[in-house]
Amino acid sequence: QVQLVESGGGLVQAGGSLRLSCAASGYSFSSFPIGWFRQGLGKAREFVVAISRSGVSTYYADSVKGRFTISRDNAKNTVTLQMNSLKPEDTDVYYCARGLGYPHLQPSGYDYWGQGTQVTVSS
């Protein structure tokens, strides 16, 4: 079965960095784009970034552009999200998801989701 598992979240001070990973299994990984979303308590799930099947194309939300970098390794079925210059407003649960197309900016454009990993940025 399709599975996506996030890891790498944690607590970091403002200005610091974290690297999130998304490990996929149960399907042909290179055939689907991947997206990252984030969600806080009582808030809607927010698009962060998407990467195309090959990894050549990426699309970032304005709020993270220039600070976050996404990459994928199709040989290892993994996607990495490098987050630099973190701000307190980046605090959320981060989810990776399998895309139905590229780029989809809404959660409805993704069919399988990981369980999420908590990122907390202290001021």
Helix residue ranges, H only, the chain: none
Residues 48-93: tens digit of each pLDDT: 999 999 999 999 999 999 999 999 999 999 999 999 999 999 999 9
Can you give the pLDDT at residue 81? 98
Q: Which of 57, 84, 56 is nearest to 69 (CA)?
A: 84
Q: What angle do CA 117, 21, 25 make, to 5 degrees?
A: 100
Residue 21, Cβ neighbours under 10 Å: how many? Answer: 17
Residues 112-123: tens digit of each pLDDT: 999 999 999 999
For CA atoms 106, 32, 92, 12, the dihedral sign is negative
